Homo-oligomer: A and B are copies of this chain.
């Protein structure tokens, strides 16, 4: 019946586990791989074959109690389970497990907004709450708070937070704004962190640290438990909101723009994630690569210039917003405007200047927490849907921005890919996001994309740059770059893994954390 089985699990053992799980969630909520629905758990965007991360089954519990029972069954039958929230982090592997045969624990049916407190400004959500659900909930109840969403409006609140994702309002550092967690441990027991461990406390979503070690971060980008609830702080709707864009004429302007932005960020004049997108990130909203070139390889600089001119796009395009009382926003605006006027040729653009511009429009919506799917236009750039994100972190300095830009573009071009990137300045650093686009139906191109990504990891690490998040297929490779002090950090992760999940059933291999005795090399 099953083409794939979890590593080390016999047909009989697997069948018996599935039967036990069916008794918990009902027959229709255990999807094994003769059911066409299993296709919904494939990673259809990566450069590697879908089969390499094909699940043997998916199980969809509807409640915390069901999650506990499923985990207990997985534990007693030694079945590896890979939990997903909404499973929409497409550039990083989507709903697929780390290795073929793992059973997906799909939490999408648990999709309730459990509470929104308008006095104290927090929410408690279940794993399956998507951005659109959350946004609609706020709208429906006319609540005076915004949500903060990722660019992928289909994504989910909890999954993105646990994966250290970022958004675009002043509450864009999702993990920073998370408060309180409920976790099912590998033996099926239930734990609440922080104040949630105190019976009758109402402070679960209010105070992050509780008493004793602050452990919430342990359950992010890891496999130490199955998170079933999180608390989130909400951003109050500001009296005034002023989104703006600055277009830069030259690729070299990135240096000065970054240097000028940093003080605005550090001084909280610009309180949200300051984004600087390269020309081609924007261009896919207006055109496709095929309209400019039919041959292989990256578009030449001359073509980039023509695209910039035709669609009035900057070689770099900066987006941010001001929030607060109208008078305060206007005071801050004076400073922002004066700052960017220092850059020769910089074009400062407000909403009223660009009515109907889809690029300004979707960025402004993101900066006020309105989920949308506009950025998916990137998938049309080359067609064929393949994309993986390469996401190194660097200091928010002009030197680092230029160095990363040149280094990464050079590698992309070597492998025949366009550089499609953006920089996102956070508190003190910047995320550089390369969207590596390729045609998944072209085996050679997919192979090149995979190789390109592997080289990027190595080249970045050689310069002291590391990635903050990655696709399933590169989790081990990146974990291995964080190897200072004789691999002390990964050793620590593995020790904690053994302590909290001695049977090694929870998401083996997530972010390089394998159970003892199981290594990437022995992967089936």
Chain A: residues with CB nearer than 8 A to chain B?
119-122, 164, 175-176, 179, 185, 189-193, 195-203, 205-207, 209-222, 224, 233, 236, 238, 262-263, 266-267, 324-325, 327-328, 331-332, 335, 393-397, 426-429, 461, 463-470, 478-479, 481-486, 488-493, 495-496, 498-500, 511-513
Partner of A212, one of B325, B396, B493, B498: B493
Q: CB-nearest residue of chain B relative to A465?
A: B201
Please give, as numbers and ranges, the residues of chain B lying within 8 Å of A266 by CB-CB distance: 120-121, 236
Please give, as numbers and ranges, the residues of chain B lying within 8 Å of A331 by CB-CB distance: 325, 327-328, 331
How far is it, in angstroms, between the C-alpha of A395 and the C-alpha of B204 when the chains are bound? 10
A466 touches B210 (CB 8 A): yes
B185 touches A488 (CB 8 A): yes
A478 touches B428 (CB 8 A): no
CB proximity of A415 to chain B, nearest CB, Å: 23
Partner of A220, one of B202, B214, B470: B214
CB proximity of A405 to chain B, nearest CB, Å: 17
Q: CB-nearest residue of chain B relative to A224?
A: B213
How far is it, in angstroms, between the C-alpha of A496 and the C-alpha of B200 when the chains are bound? 26
Please give, as numbers and ranges, the residues of chain B lying within 8 Å of A468 by CB-CB distance: 207, 209-211
B395 touches A211 (CB 8 A): no
Could you give 18 example pairs across A and B, Cβ below 8 Å?
A120-B262, A185-B492, A189-B488, A189-B491, A191-B488, A197-B483, A199-B484, A200-B464, A202-B464, A207-B468, A209-B217, A212-B513, A214-B217, A215-B492, A217-B218, A238-B267, A325-B335, A492-B500
CB proximity of A250 to chain B, nearest CB, Å: 23
A495 touches B486 (CB 8 A): no
CB proximity of A199 to chain B, nearest CB, Å: 5
- Apart from the given pairs A195-B393, A212-B512, A495-B499, 9 other A-B contacts in the complex at a CB distance below 8 Å: A121-B266, A176-B176, A191-B489, A199-B461, A210-B482, A211-B469, A212-B513, A236-B263, A325-B332
How far is it, in angstroms, between the C-alpha of A200 and the C-alpha of B400 when the chains are bound? 14
Please give, as numbers and ranges, the residues of chain B lying within 8 Å of A190 by CB-CB distance: 485, 488
Please give, as numbers and ranges, the residues of chain B lying within 8 Å of A122 by CB-CB distance: 428
A218 in contact with B222 given A207-B468, A328-B332 (CB within 8 Å): no
B212 touches A221 (CB 8 A): yes
A203 touches B484 (CB 8 A): no
B327 touches A203 (CB 8 A): no
B492 touches A198 (CB 8 A): no
A206 in contact with B395 given A192-B489, A211-B511, A212-B513 (CB within 8 Å): yes
CB proximity of A118 to chain B, nearest CB, Å: 10
A220 in contact with B213 given A121-B266, A197-B482, A197-B484 (CB within 8 Å): yes
B196 touches A484 (CB 8 A): yes
Q: CB-nearest residue of chain B relative to A327?
A: B331
How far is it, in angstroms, between the C-alpha of A466 and the C-alpha of B189 when the chains are bound? 23
Partner of A397, one of B120, B215, B219, B267: B120
Please give, as numbers and ranges, the residues of chain B lying within 8 Å of A428 by CB-CB distance: 120-122, 179, 205-207, 233
